[in-house]
A and B are shown apart, each in its own frame.
Chain A
Amino acid sequence: MNIFRPRVSKTIKKILKKGSTVPLYFITVHKCEKLKNTNQKYNKKYVSYKVLTIVFAILSGFNSFSQDDIFLNYYENVNIAEMNIVNKKLDSAIYFYDLAFPLTEKPMVKDIHNALMCAVSIKNNSKTQDYLEKITLKNLNPNYYKRYKLTKYLTKNQFKNIKERYKRKINSYVYQFLDSLQNEDQKIRTQENYLKFHYKIIATDTSNYNCYIKFLENNDFPDESQTINYPNQQRIDNILFHHWFQTTHWFQMQKNNVDSLIIKQIKEFNIANYHYANFYDIRNGSFVGKPNYGMVFFVKYKHNVKLLNFSKEDLIQINKNRKDLGLDTRENSIIKTSFFDKSKIFIFQNYGQTIIFSGGKTAEEQFNSLK
């Protein structure tokens, strides 16, 4: 036993150096110490806790210490793949998607869809099957497969499986819960409430927000397979976050560490990076002030469209922030948006790139004042 113990501390020291398993180490060691104090120092239970500590520490440490690099590498590959789609180099796009997908068990649905469309377009059947298998795990609405003429690549059983998965999803507790919050969010947003009873909207937002936070205490953060029905549509909870970031939840969100929570989910591939960038810009002002990520590219008023410009210095900072979140440069993203908007099959970020001004004179004045 004496020989065993220094080895343990050495291993843990090594792991701690990597700096990722501290909480787990403390939890398990704390239990060990408890056992130690009850004079069961060398009994079997104590040893098994020690061994468990090492095993958990090693496993969790090794799985997480390079998560940052991996998520960034994923998005680097996807960004290049998308540029290749823009340049009509679908073979090259597939090459980069194939570098990205193995990096995670949960590639983002938009990326799988685009890869799938590349494979279908160049008639690469084996890749088509690979990507279909991947996209099936996203529990999309069966109509998606019809809309994109993918049913011909599926057997009857496969399509039956897709229908069942979708059914299971929409009947799941998570989906039902998010759907009910979304319904409440939309129900309260009437024109009358906006004009006369704005406090009602804020009250509903607050109540929804608190429900969601409580939900997260007992459930994992919902991933795309639980929240998305079509790759070109938003997550079911997107509108909720959109409104929370827009209204008066700044302090509550800070208290609940929502920003770091979402960033963690991006790194774990539960939510796409551009969602957070959009939320953040909404809070800080997408076109007034200094948006962090420059997510709004165009502003539209009636039939006039303007490209939102930034100073050189601001653009450098924006692109730096975008890079840290795995987003392509603003310049490339504008090119992509223009291309993907026209494309009938490929999908880029599905919201936030254009702000449409509507309403009266204020909107017109605001539009005209933008450079």
Chain B
Amino acid sequence: MWILKGNCISIVGYNRGIIYNLFDNSYYFIPKTFAKMFQKSAVFNKKLQSEDSLNFFKDNKLIIEISKNQIRQFPQVTPEYINKNDFEHVVIEICNQNIETIDLIIKKISNFKIKSIEFIFSDNVELDFALTIINKINLELNIAKVITLKYDLFLRISEKINLNTIDYVKTYSCSEENKLNLQTSKYSYLDANYWKMNETKLFFNFDFFAEAISYHVKFNQMIFIDKNGNIKQNPLGNSVCNYMKLNKNFLTNNIFTELWYVSKEKCHVCKNCEFRYMCVDARIPLKINDNEYYFKEECTYNPYICKWQGEEGYVPVEECGTYGKETGFVPDKEKIEKLNQEIWKE
């Protein structure tokens, strides 16, 4: 008999499935029936085996041939996310504040275990001020560091100091020409569409997947401290308190941590998407009830017809069902079936 390897994980979408291979972080689209079968049991059901299907799984090294009594040797273990930090990501807005204020904020958050910290420099930040901040965080913070700043400021800073100690640099207001230079593993650019998903933004590795199964990777244990020192769940959210009041009690405060527990499984449309464990979605989830959330903005991928915006046959998600404030998104199965027949007919 054939069995799905332990490092391969099957995910069911509305219209098709995906197999994630945790060995090399690759993924393969598979028919929904196969994805469902593998989600139920790792054993490759003989009824679904054909020469083509077997060859596909064999060629991609997703399955292995074993005997019946060897099944127990192939446990299907789901990666487990182990939370070791108080905050996964802390974002601090920098806008020519008083340097003492920044000092106090850094001191305050140093009391917490943090995985990464991001400094967003507003477009009016002076060069000297930015240099002081970067030197300070290099000296005082021994965690993953990200900076977001205007492209011009980035150039001027790069001339003065080495940015090697910064783990990731995002720039904005960048010309088309310069964008090309920034597409490396350490640098990227932000434009008006930065929050929109596209195929190139899909991301997959073990840690990401382990976190994404249970949490929304963008908002899980994230806090945002704005230029006035107000703490928010996200840049557009309401202020919860001032940074001075930040203490360990906040880690159990339901209002403060609400978005930390929103997983993609709780989000309408996303829960039907085969990419749900590989996407960093910047849209803010809106609550319907404790177990259901929806998004005001539409995603650029429609999981009901497996098409990206711009692809032939693409229709927005709203045409595949109905949106309501209380119901969220309700897919119209008949309509979707019709659309799929039209799009995917031979």
Which residues of A does B touch, CB under 8 Å?
A: 62-63, 65-66, 69-70, 73, 76-77, 80, 84, 89, 91-92, 95-96, 98-99, 102-104, 122
Contacts and interface: CB of A to CB of B under 8 A. Distances in A.
A91 B7 contact: no
B73 A99 contact: no
Q: Tell me the dominant secondary structure on chain B's binding face.
A: loop
Given A77-B6, A99-B77, 12 more contacts: A62-B67, A66-B70, A69-B64, A69-B65, A73-B5, A76-B7, A91-B82, A92-B210, A95-B206, A96-B7, A99-B7, A102-B74
Contacts of B86: none
17 contacts: A62-B69, A63-B69, A65-B67, A69-B65, A70-B64, A73-B64, A76-B7, A77-B6, A77-B7, A91-B210, A92-B79, A92-B206, A92-B207, A98-B77, A102-B73, A102-B74, A103-B73
Contacts of B79: 92, 95
Contacts of A102: 72-75
A95 B210 CA distance: 11
Interface in B171-209: 206-207
Interface string B104-120: 00000000000000000
Contacts of B69: 62-63
A95 B80 contact: yes
A342 B31 CA distance: 47
Nearest to A76: B23
Given A99-B77, A102-B74, A80 B7 contact: yes
Contact of B66 (A70, A84, A91, A96): A70
A80 B64 contact: no
A102 B64 CA distance: 15
Interface of B: 5-7, 22-23, 64-70, 72-75, 77, 79-80, 82, 206-207, 210
B65 A80 contact: no
B284 to A, nearest CB: 29
Nearest to B7: A99
Nearest to A64: B67
A66 B210 CA distance: 30
The 3 closest A-B pairs by CB, nearest first: A62-B67, A99-B6, A92-B206
A103 B6 CA distance: 11
Contacts of A69: 64-66
Contacts of A91: 80, 82, 207, 210
B206 A62 contact: no
A103 B74 contact: yes
Contacts of A63: 67, 69
B7 A66 contact: no
A75 to B, nearest CB: 12
A140 B210 CA distance: 35
A89 B75 contact: no
Q: Which of A77, A89, A95 has the most CB of B within 10 A?
A: A95
A104 B70 CA distance: 10
A89 B75 CA distance: 21
A254 B282 CA distance: 64
Contact of A70 (B22, B73, B207): B73
Nearest to A95: B79
B204 to A, nearest CB: 13
Nearest to B72: A102
Contacts of B210: 91-92
A84 B64 contact: no
A70 B74 CA distance: 10
Contacts of A80: 7, 22-23
Nearest to B65: A66
B160 to A, nearest CB: 31
Contacts of B23: 76, 80
